[in-house]
A and B are shown apart, each in its own frame.
Chain A
Amino acid sequence: MKIREIASLLGAEVLCGDYLLDEEVQSACGSDMMSDVLAYVKDQGVLVTGLVNPQVIRTAMMMDMRCIVFVRSKRPTPEMLALAKEHHIAVLASDSRMYEACGKLYSSGLGSEACANG
């Protein structure tokens, strides 16, 4: 699935990384606990989270993820966006709740390795 499709499925605003919208991602991980995200590398390209602090961006970097989706209308700080830009990670913001966002992505065919813990 292209990052562009994720944005449209979730009615999400693209906060940075417009040039990454045509990148393909295979699966996603949804959690508010970062060590759960770090637990298994399965080529998850997308992190769906309601947690807002710079460790979210660093966690995505460590996992070589391409896209972060903030749910529940959470907004990252300018410092977080700068960090994401520096490391070429697209950042999206959606009003959806975690369960709804993960459900929409999963049922639209985004990788079945997704884990939802938050």
Chain B
Amino acid sequence: MAEALRFHYDVDGDNFTSAGAASVEVKRKLRQLGFDAETIRRVSIAMYEGEINMVVHARGGSADVYVDKNSITIILADSGPGIPDIDLAMQEGYSTAPDNIRALGFGAGMGLPNMKRYTDEMKIDTVLGKGTTVTMKVYFTTGKSTSSAE
């Protein structure tokens, strides 16, 4: 029976140094599962951008990745400030990142557009003052299913 594989991670909002560790782990797992390099890159880059966003804009959150028969779903949920204008946030170059974040190499305003471009579906649910949940889906066709799990 093909049950979805699920990976769960807590993303620490106080630790910029470890930000992205969950995405690195997912990349490793997808390699073990035998996915092609292109699918792995799309999933891990999109998740990495989202993970960094949770750390720099929302004081951390959680990441869940589901591997199904023909798709990989990434759900990033935080209890941060929310996004006031999603259309604006989705524009290339739009960023509210302060100077201290820019000095760390983030704040080009490219993260959300990158996430959209690398995934087949992306949905942002956000409530001001409550938090944001980003759901992304990548479909794959190369016949990899959960049956190839370790």
Contacts and interface: CB of A to CB of B under 8 A. Distances in A.
Interface of A: 32-36, 38-39, 41, 49, 51, 53-56, 58-59, 61-64, 79, 117
Given A35-B108, A38-B49, A62 B114 contact: no
Chief secondary structure at chain B's binding surface: helix
Contacts of A41: 41, 45
21 contacts: A32-B105, A33-B107, A34-B106, A35-B49, A38-B49, A38-B110, A38-B111, A39-B110, A39-B113, A39-B114, A39-B117, A51-B104, A53-B16, A55-B20, A55-B105, A55-B106, A58-B24, A61-B24, A62-B45, A64-B37, A64-B41
Nearest to B21: A58
Interface of B: 16-20, 23-24, 27, 37, 41, 44-45, 48-49, 52, 102, 104-111, 113-114, 117
B79 to A, nearest CB: 23
Given A51-B105, A54-B17, A55-B104, A35 B41 contact: no
A65 to B, nearest CB: 11
Contacts of B37: 64
Contacts of B41: 41, 62-64
**Most chain B Cβ neighbours within 10 Å, of A39, A49, A61, A64:** A39
Sorted from nearest, which 8 A-B pairs have the closest CB atoms?
A: A35-B110, A33-B108, A58-B20, A51-B105, A34-B105, A35-B108, A35-B111, A62-B45
